[in-house]
Amino acid sequence: MINIPVAEAKNRLSELIARVEAGEEIAVTRRGKPVVRLVAAGAVDATAQRARVSEAFRQLGLLRSQVSLEGDLKAIARDGLS
């Protein structure tokens, strides 16, 4: 990720958009501190999707720790199919 000051970002917006579309992430800074991060629109959706999937796996793990099966798993599966 590159850092770029606000004033420079305003002057080079088209170039920065092209770089973001190519996969880069850009932090826009004010007085040396990041205030905005430029990422491709699809990247934001992917990040949110990863968070949802991670949470789903966490919840499945909790459920799994609460379930205990007694007996032969193959027999249980066959009984469930009939």
Per-residue pLDDT at 30: 96
Per-residue pLDDT at 15: 96
Per-residue pLDDT at 57: 95
Per-residue pLDDT at 29: 97
pLDDT-flagged residues of the chain (< 70): 44
Per-residue pLDDT at 79: 84
Per-residue pLDDT at 78: 84
33-38 vs 26-30, strand pairing mode: antiparallel
48 φ, ψ (degrees, to nearest 5): -65, -40
Per-residue pLDDT at 73: 80
Tokens 């793990």 correspond to what residue?
61
Within 10 Å of residue 10's Cβ, how many Cβ atoms? 11
Q: Which of 35, 38, 44 is nearest to 12 (CA)?
A: 38
Q: What's the pTM value of the predicted model, to 2 decimals?
A: 0.53
